[in-house]
């Protein structure tokens, strides 16, 4: 008989997740955890069982755009895959968006919601995309104070009834740019009947099957740039289900996120409502981005967790050179590094969820607001880069099988690769981090350092102390680098922004790991979180080494001399 390899399998994704369970035990009041645990257990069961099997079976299905019917009518209908149709129903029923708005867990409602999303995401092929935008739209409308839109849309976006549930799109990117949205070309014209109508092309619109969207357009006559844009609300279809002056030109042929129907649209007089005023659209859509960036970080942590869970399971089954891979010191060491990255990303993403929950329930003070503003882009960009690295290594950890599509593994890498691109690329968010520091950067950094010192200074274990030192010294270096770069011409600071932001991200992740490690050791007698902190501390925290702008220019120069 020839040999057949046993494939990797998954158990209940909640019960099996030490990091999630230990974290929830630390942050949630015990009676709250007992109350919500059955729903997490159920989501974990679905995610490691029925949904995972459905995901593997759905592998070759993709959304289908039909532009014309048999009788010559333009219909632009998108058919979703069976996995996504199931995901939509399950997301509503399990309150993957609703939990954050029901607020039954007060300031911890976001943490609970993010835990559900974290379990749900890896088995639903980026259904997190429409959910993130739905959540972001509900949050944006609620912050807008536009009572009629709040009453019209928010109940649909936050319901648990699948038949009532709406998802939302977020249409910002145009051909002129996704980063520089100030260049938006879509025009808004107010017609004689007082209705605003939008004319233009939207270049990337995911979840085009949504019932509504928030978008940017420039009211005719408004100034150029971001200030001249306004935020608009659109309902996609009329009562008979026809698209309201929207043409779906085509679905994008993408590297990953293949289940997401990302379309190019033309708006040909699409009726729209102003959300809050005729200007400042970029500022007014910011609440949406805060939520979608949180989802991005939670998804990054979730995909890493899935990838590492599969790699660990496989390493216990696959035999090479007379032993299982897990018994091979080098393979074990490789996987340990990935586990540490995944744990670091988990704590960073959930820290932002905690802060977001505090902010939404009015419990956040001025200092914490500064930290939340700073850490949202830092967390998004840091975890997204980690996800790509981890997914790539996990594919390698399966050898050739990791490169073969019907193992269901390559999609992990293809889907992770979108995380650093959408919702702001790494560079664009790094520049946002500089903006988040504001004019009083040293105060903001001081607030962050005080928090971090509180978390790490309690570390008594000698080996954790060294991790704590690495973290504090990275933050101190980041601060002094920034102060120095500010004195030079603008290009030095801009050129180093990414390494600066990643240093903040990795240092704060390490601090959170140390904080959790101490708690876990003292309350659970578990050494594993400490091992993650120690391992992560040696994986490159301070990235601000002495690279200079001149070197950068030289490196990408076409000739060998300046």
Ligand X SMILES: Cc1cc2nc3c(=O)[nH]c(=O)nc-3n(C[C@H](O)[C@H](O)[C@H](O)COP(=O)(O)OP(=O)(O)OC[C@H]3O[C@@H](n4cnc5c(N)ncnc54)[C@H](O)[C@@H]3O)c2cc1C
* N- to C-terminal Cα separation, the chain: 66
Q: At closest approach, how far in Å is the CB of 202 from ligand X? A: 7
Handedness of CA 223, 226, 232, 236 (dihedral sign): positive
Q: At closest approach, how far in Å is the CB of 510 from ligand X? A: 25
CB-CB contact of 236 with 207 (8 Å): no
Structural tokens at position 202: 């939207």
| Interface mask toward ligand X for 73-112; x: CB under 6 A | ----------------------------------------
β-strands 212-219, 168-171 pairing: parallel
Q: At closest approach, how far in Å is the CB of 277 from ligand X? A: 20
Applying CB under 6 A, does 47 fall inside the site for ligand X?
no
DSSP assignment of 263-303: EEEEEEEEEEEESS-SS-HHHHTHHHHHHHHHHHHHHHHHH
Applying CB under 6 A, does 18 fall inside the site for ligand X?
no
**Of 13 and 208, CB closest to ligand X:** 208
- Name the segment binding ligand X (CB under 6 A); options: 112-120, 145-153, 170-178, 441-449: 170-178
**Of 435 and 469, CB closest to ligand X:** 435
Residue 244 DSSP class: S
Alpha carbon distances (Å) from 187 to 142, 177, 220, 350, 409: 25, 16, 6, 39, 43
Phi-psi region of 304 (alpha: psi -120 to 50; beta: other; left: phi over 0): alpha
- For ligand X, the binding residue among 11, 155, 178, 399 (CB under 6 A) is 178
CB-CB contact of 513 with 541 (8 Å): no
The closest of 483, 472, 468, 477 to 449, measured between CA atoms, is: 472
Applying CB under 6 A, does 173 fall inside the site for ligand X?
yes
Applying CB under 6 A, does 361 fall inside the site for ligand X?
no
User: Which residues, including other chains, have CB under 8 Å from residue 7's CB and lie 6 or more apart?
Assistant: 314, 407
Applying CB under 6 A, does 184 fall inside the site for ligand X?
no
**Of 167 and 206, CB closest to ligand X:** 206
Handedness of CA 28, 287, 245, 81 (dihedral sign): negative
| Interface mask toward ligand X for 404-443; x: CB under 6 A | --------------x--xx--x-xx--x------------
The closest of 309, 380, 372 to 119, measured between CA atoms, is: 309
C-alpha dihedral (354, 360, 365, 368), degrees to nearest 10: 40
- Name the segment binding ligand X (CB under 6 A); options: 34-42, 203-211, 302-310, 481-489: 203-211
Q: At closest approach, how far in Å is the CB of 158 from ligand X? A: 20
CB-CB contact of 383 with 301 (8 Å): yes
| Interface mask toward ligand X for 442-461; x: CB under 6 A | --------------------
The SS3 call for residue 163 is coil
Applying CB under 6 A, does 205 fall inside the site for ligand X?
yes
Applying CB under 6 A, does 262 fall inside the site for ligand X?
yes
- For ligand X, the binding residue among 112, 171, 295, 314 (CB under 6 A) is 171
Number of residues in contact with ligand X under rule CB under 6 A:
21
Applying CB under 6 A, does 182 fall inside the site for ligand X?
no
β-strands 64-68, 74-79 pairing: antiparallel
The SS3 call for residue 79 is strand
**Of 179 and 324, CB closest to ligand X:** 179
Applying CB under 6 A, does 134 fall inside the site for ligand X?
no
Beta strands in 477-550 (DSSP E): none
Applying CB under 6 A, does 183 fall inside the site for ligand X?
no
**Of 173 and 509, CB closest to ligand X:** 173
Applying CB under 6 A, does 177 fall inside the site for ligand X?
yes
**Of 255 and 320, CB closest to ligand X:** 255
**Of 251 and 312, CB closest to ligand X:** 251
- For ligand X, the binding residue among 170, 339, 376, 444 (CB under 6 A) is 170
**Of 54 and 495, CB closest to ligand X:** 495
Residue nearest to ligand X (CB): 178
Q: At closest approach, how far in Å is the CB of 423 from ligand X? A: 6
The closest of 536, 445, 451 to 19, measured between CA atoms, is: 536
**Of 145 and 177, CB closest to ligand X:** 177
Applying CB under 6 A, does 204 fall inside the site for ligand X?
yes
Q: At closest approach, how far in Å is the CB of 146 from ligand X? A: 21
- For ligand X, the binding residue among 12, 184, 206, 383 (CB under 6 A) is 206
β-strands 196-205, 212-219 pairing: unpaired
List the alpha helices (DSSP H) in 198-285: 281-284
Residue 12 DSSP class: -
**Which residues here bind ligand X, judged by CB under 6 A?**
169-173, 177-179, 204-206, 254, 257, 262, 418, 421-422, 425, 427-428, 431
């Amino acid at each position: 008989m020839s040999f057949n390899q046993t494939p990797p399998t998954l158990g209940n994704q909640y019960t099996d997740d030490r990091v999630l369970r230990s974290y929830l035990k630390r942050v949630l009041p015990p009676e709250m955890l007992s109350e919500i645990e059955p729903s997490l257990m159920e989501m974990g069961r679905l995610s490691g069982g029925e949904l995972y099997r459905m995901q593997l079976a759905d592998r070759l299905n993709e959304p289908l755009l039909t532009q014309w019917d048999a009788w010559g009518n333009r219909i632009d209908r998108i058919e979703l895959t069976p996995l996504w149709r199931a995901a939509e129903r399950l997301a509503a029923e399990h309150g993957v968006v609703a939990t954050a708005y029901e607020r039954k867990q007060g300031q911890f409602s976001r943490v609970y919601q993010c835990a559900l999303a974290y379990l749900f995401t890896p088995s639903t092929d980026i259904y997190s995309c429409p959910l993130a935008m739905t959540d972001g739209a509900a949050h944006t409308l609620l912050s807008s104070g536009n009572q009629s839109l709040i009453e019209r849309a928010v109940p649909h976006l936050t319901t648990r009834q699948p038949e009532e549930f709406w998802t939302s799109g977020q249409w910002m990117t145009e051909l002129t740019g996704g980063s520089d949205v100030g260049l938006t070309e879509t025009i808004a014209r107010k017609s004689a009947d007082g209705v605003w109508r939008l004319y233009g092309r939207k270049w990337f619109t995911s979840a085009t099957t949504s019932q509504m969207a928030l978008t940017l357009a420039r009211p005719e006559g408004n100034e150029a740039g971001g200030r001249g844009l306004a935020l608009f609300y659109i309902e996609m279809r009329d009562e008979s289900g026809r698209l309201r002056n929207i043409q779906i030109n085509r679905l994008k042929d993408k590297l990953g996120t293949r289940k997401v129907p990302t379309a190019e649209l033309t708006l040909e007089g699409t009726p729209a409502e102003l959300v809050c005023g005729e200007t400042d659209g970029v500022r007014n859509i910011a609440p949406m981005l805060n939520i979608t960036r949180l989802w991005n970080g939670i998804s990054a942590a979730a995909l890493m967790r899935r990838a590492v869970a599969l790699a660990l399971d496989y390493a216990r089954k696959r035999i090479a050179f007379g032993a299982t891979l897990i018994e091979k010191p080098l393979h074990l060491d490789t996987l340990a590094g990935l586990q540490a990255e995944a744990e670091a990303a988990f704590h960073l993403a959930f820290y932002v969820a905690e802060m977001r929950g505090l902010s939404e329930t009015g419990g956040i003070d001025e200092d914490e607001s500064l930290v939340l503003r700073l850490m949202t882009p830092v967390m998004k960009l840091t975890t997204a880069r980690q996800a790509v690295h981890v997914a790539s290594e996990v594919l390698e950890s399966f050898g050739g099988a990791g490169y073969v599509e019907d193992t269901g593994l390559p999609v992990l890498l293809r889907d992770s690769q979108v995380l650093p691109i959408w919702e702001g690329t790494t560079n664009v968010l790094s520049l946002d981090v500089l903006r988040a520091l504001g004019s009083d950067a040293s105060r903001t950094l001081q607030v962050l350092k005080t928090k971090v010192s509180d978390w790490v200074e309690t570390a008594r274990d000698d080996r954790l102390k060294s991790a704590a030192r690495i973290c504090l010294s990275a933050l101190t270096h980041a601060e002094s680098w920034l102060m120095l770069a500010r004195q030079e011409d603008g290009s030095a600071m801009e050129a180093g922004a990414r390494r600066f932001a990643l240093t903040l991200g990795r240092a704060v992740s390490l601090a959170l790991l140390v904080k959790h490690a101490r708690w876990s050791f003292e309350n659970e007698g578990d050494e594993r979180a400490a091992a993650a902190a120690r391992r992560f501390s040696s994986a490159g925290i301070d990235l601000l080494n002495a690279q200079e702008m001149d070197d950068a220019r030289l490196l990408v120069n076409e000739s060998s001399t300046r």
